């Protein structure tokens, strides 16, 4: 199923499962595209 035999912390979001974007002086959180919001890959 996965590429990894064990879970590894997603480097894109540091395991949070979210990425924060700045939109017109306000912060918006979205699920991380690297791990689909799980925080692990």
Contact 39, 31 (CB under 8 A): no
**Count of C-beta atoms within a 10 Å radius of residue 13:** 22
Range of the domain at 9: 1-41
- Counting the structural domains of the chain, the total is 1
32 exposed, middle or buried (CB, 10 Å; 0-12, 13-18, 19+)? buried
Contact 12, 6 (CB under 8 A): no
pLDDT for 4: 57
Contact 37, 8 (CB under 8 A): no
Integer-rounded Cα Rg, in Å, for the chain is 12
Q: What is the pLDDT of residues 1-41, one digit of tens each?
A: 556 568 899 999 999 999 999 989 999 999 999 999 999 99
């Amino acid at each position: 199923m996965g590429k990894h035999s064990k879970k590894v912390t997603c480097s894109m979001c540091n395991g949070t499962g979210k990425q924060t974007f700045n939109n017109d002086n306000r912060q918006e959180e979205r699920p991380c595209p690297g791990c689909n919001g799980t925080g692990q890959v």
